[in-house]
Amino acid sequence: MALNASLAFLTVLQLAAATTSSFQERCLAFDPTEHVTNTTLRIREYVPANSTILLPGMDPSCSRLNQTIPVAACRIALTIPTSNRSSFIYEHFFPEQDAWTGRLLATGNGGIDGCIKYEDIAYGLEHGFTATGTNNGHNGTGGTAFLNNEEIVKDFSYRTIHTAAEAAKVLTKALYDKKPSKSYYTGCSGGGRQGIQAADLYPKDFDGILVGAPGINFNYMSAWRASFFTYTGAINSSSFISAATWEGLIHDEMLKQCDELDGVQDGILVDPALCVGVFQPETLLCSTTTANTSACLTPHQVEVVRKVFTPLYGESGELIYPPLSPGAETVATQRLLSGTPFSYSVDWYRYAVYSNPAWDPASWTIHDATVGEEKNVGNARSWPSDLSPLRDNGGKMLIFHGGADQQITGLDTERWYNYLSRSMDATSDELDAFMRFFRIPGMNHCSGGTSAWQIGQSGAAAQNLPYEAGNNVLAALVDWVEKGEAPDTVMGTKFVDDNEKKGVALTRKHCRYPLRSTYVGGDSTLAASWVCR
Ligand X SMILES: *[C@@H]1O[C@H](CO)[C@@H](O)[C@H](O)[C@H]1NC(C)=O
Provide the annotated active-site residues: 189, 405, 445
Nearer to ligand X, 89 or 254 (CB): 89
Nearer to Ca ion, 276 or 469 (CB): 276
With CB under 6 A as the contact rule, which of the stretches 46-54, 243-251, 305-313, 398-406 interacts with ligand X? Answer: 46-54
- Which region, left, alpha or beta, applies to residue 263 given φ > 0 means left and ψ of -120 to 50 means alpha? left
What track of x and - describes contact with Ca ion for positions 366 through 395 (by CB under 5 A)? ------------------------------
Task: Please give the angle made by the CA atoms of 379, 385 and 390, to the nearest 5 degrees.
Answer: 95
10 binds, among Ca ion, ligand X, none (CB under 5 to 8 A by kind): none
- Are 362 and 140 in contact by the 8 Å Cβ rule? The answer is no
Query: How many C-beta neighbours within 10 Å does residue 207 have?
Result: 23
DSSP state of 263: T
Shortest CB 314 distance to Ca ion, Å:
32
Shortest CB 46 distance to ligand X, Å:
13
With CB under 6 A as the contact rule, which of the stretches 8-16, 58-66, 119-127, 323-331 interacts with ligand X? Answer: 58-66
In sequence order, what are the beta bridge partners of 93?
Answer: 75, 131
Residues with Cβ within 8 Å of residue 31, at least 6 apart in sequence = 41
103-107 vs 182-188, strand pairing mode: parallel
Q: Of 262, 271, 373, 405, which lies in the binding site for Ca ion, with binding defined by CB under 5 A? A: 262
Shortest CB 307 distance to ligand X, Å:
21
Tell which positions 79-108 bind ligand X, by CB under 6 A.
84, 89
Shortest CB 270 distance to Ca ion, Å:
6
Does 271 contact Ca ion by CB under 5 A? no
The full DSSP string for 503-523 is -EEEEEEEEBTT--EEE-SS-
51-54 vs 73-83, strand pairing mode: unpaired
Nearer to Ca ion, 161 or 506 (CB): 506
Nearer to ligand X, 334 or 393 (CB): 334
Task: Please give the angle made by the CA atoms of 33, 38 and 43, to the nearest 5 degrees.
Answer: 45
Tell which positions 279-308 bind ligand X, by CB under 6 A.
292
Question: How many amino acids of this chain bind ligand X (CB under 6 A)?
Answer: 16
Distance between CA atoms of 497 and 486, rounded to whole angstroms? Answer: 31
Nearer to Ca ion, 64 or 516 (CB): 516
- Are 203 and 386 in contact by the 8 Å Cβ rule? The answer is no
Q: What is the largest CA-CA distance in the chain?
A: 108
Could you tell me the end-to-end alpha-carbon distance of the chain, in angstroms, rounded to an integer?
A: 77
DSSP state of 228: H
Distance between CA atoms of 321 and 415, rounded to whole angstroms? Answer: 9
Does 49 contact ligand X by CB under 6 A? yes
5 binds, among Ca ion, ligand X, none (CB under 5 to 8 A by kind): none
With CB under 6 A as the contact rule, which of the stretches 54-62, 409-417, 454-462, 493-501 interacts with ligand X? Answer: 54-62
Does 147 contact Ca ion by CB under 5 A? no
Buried residues in 227-243 as b, exposed as e (16+ CB within 10 A): bbbebbbeeeeeebbeb
Does 264 contact Ca ion by CB under 5 A? yes
C-alpha distances out from residue 128 to 71, 73, 93, 121, Å? 9, 11, 11, 11
Provide the strand spans (E) within 308-366: 312-313, 319-321
65 binds, among ligand X, Ca ion, none (CB under 5 to 8 A by kind): ligand X
Tell which positions 233-252 bind ligand X, by CB under 6 A.
234, 236
Provide the strand spans (E) within 357-445: 396-402, 435-440
Shortest CB 78 distance to ligand X, Å:
12
What track of x and - describes contact with Ca ion for positions 222 through 261 (by CB under 5 A)? -------------------------------------x--
CA within 13 Å, CB half, 155? 28
Q: Of 41, 57, 488, 528, which lies in the binding site for ligand X, with binding defined by CB under 6 A? A: 57
Q: Of 39, 139, 217, 325, which lies in the binding site for ligand X, with binding defined by CB under 6 A? A: 139
Nearer to Ca ion, 120 or 262 (CB): 262
**Which residue is nearest to ligand X, using beta carbons?**
57
Q: Of 6, 37, 363, 388, which lies in the binding site for ligand X, with binding defined by CB under 6 A? A: 37
Distance between CA atoms of 46 and 23, rounded to whole angstroms? Answer: 9
Q: Of 28, 41, 65, 319, which lies in the binding site for ligand X, with binding defined by CB under 6 A? A: 65
236 binds, among ligand X, Ca ion, none (CB under 5 to 8 A by kind): ligand X
Backbone angles phi, psi at 128, to 5 degrees: 85, 10
With CB under 6 A as the contact rule, which of the stretches 1-9, 50-58, 155-163, 249-257 interacts with ligand X? Answer: 50-58
Distance between CA atoms of 13 and 27, rounded to whole angstroms? Answer: 19
Q: Of 21, 40, 66, 144, which lies in the binding site for ligand X, with binding defined by CB under 6 A? A: 66
Contacts with ligand X, residue ranges (CB under 6 A):
37-38, 49-50, 52, 54, 57-58, 65-66, 84, 89, 139, 234, 236, 292
